[in-house]
Amino acid sequence: MVALGTILSHGIIPEGESEVDWRKGVPLKALDMDLLFTTLADAMGDYTTDKRGDIGSWVRQAAMNTIQRLILALQASGKEGNKLLTPKILSTFLALILKQCVEKIDNVRVHAATVFTDILHADPPLETIPHRQRLLEIFPKDFCETANWRSPAESFPKFLQLLPLPEFTRGILSGLVVGGGRIAGGGSVPLVGYLNAFPEEEFQAELERISSIFVEIFKENSKVERVTVPLMTFLTQLFQSGVLTTLVSEEPATFGMELVQCIKTECLNSNRIEKLLGGVVLLAELIQGTPSLVRTYVSFYYFSSIYTGAE
């Protein structure tokens, strides 16, 4: 922690300097970069709330500040520091920040967008940012200087243009899910517009890619109600819009099968009404699916197993 504070206040001393004064910065060779990166990534997933309020949002904003200053300190430390700023590291951190750019809390979205665009427009430029040229086309400097990041109507269309970039797809979708229903128009509305804008010959492939990521998010966050409950609502809205219908109306309805299994796992033995209701409503949308999907999964047996398993 002392080293991190020194980095933020004084920077990083490049390797090769024979005499090191810790008051001027932290020697690069003294840093455990894996531990630093892991700690900051963990902090970006902090959603703690207690009697003091939304503690997690404070932690995430502090983590974003630290990520920005650490990246810039490594860049300024010379060749060895720049070697650590690999495309993988930068894409990981930028994806975590982009998730916050489309979440539900206005102040966090504004903060995240500011950090993201500051890193993107760093001087000298960070050449190892994945898809940097495309990002600059979407977020030119003059737009970033005047953008109203607090307004989803203005900012979300920009961030959704990043969905085709695989390094950032999951972060954007995760943010939309967590913020869904609590932002203007509901989180699913911008995604519906994004998908419907695809040419017919490309629509199905993109829909399948996006839907597979939703299933991954569901599986990896099983029993994490902060994610799964809004995710079920989000997917219900997508079904009601008609966007997901093709994924369950033809054999094999792999997406529908996996989704019902996720719902069953999530809701079984739960007594939380909001979760149970969300699961049943989403299952009801799947009744429009293929005969095998309806017969095998969406049956009275599975509806009843959710309720009889409730504590």
User: Greater confidence, 59 or 294?
Assistant: 59
Residue 258 Cα to chain centre, angstroms: 21
Q: Which amino acid is at 122?
A: A
pLDDT, average across residues 263-288: 89
On average, the pLDDT of the chain sits at 84
Model confidence over 228-244: pLDDT tens digits?
999 999 999 999 988 89
Higher pLDDT, 3 or 265: 265
- Quick one: average pLDDT of 167-192? 76
pLDDT at 181 over 80: no
Q: What percent of the chain shows pLDDT beyond 90?
A: 49
What is the pLDDT, as a whole number, of residue 278? 93
Distances (CA, A) of 100 to 51, 177, 215, 261, 308: 23, 11, 20, 29, 38
How many Cβ atoms from other residues are within 10 Å of residue 197's Cβ?
A: 10
For residue 12, give the H/E element and its range: strand 12-13
Q: Which one-letter DSSP state was computed for residue 183?
A: S
User: Rounded to whole angstroms, how far apart are CA atoms 54 and 48?
Assistant: 6
The Cα–Cα gap between 19 and 1 comes to 23
Q: What's the pLDDT tens digit per position in 116-153?
A: 999 999 998 999 999 999 999 999 999 999 999 998 88
pLDDT score of 15: 60
Residue 54 pLDDT class (50, 70, 90 cuts): confident
- Residue 74 has a CB neighbour count (10 Å cut-off) of 24
C-alpha to C-alpha distance for 216 and 234, rounded to whole angstroms: 15
| 82-103 pLDDT tens trace | 888 899 999 999 999 999 999 8
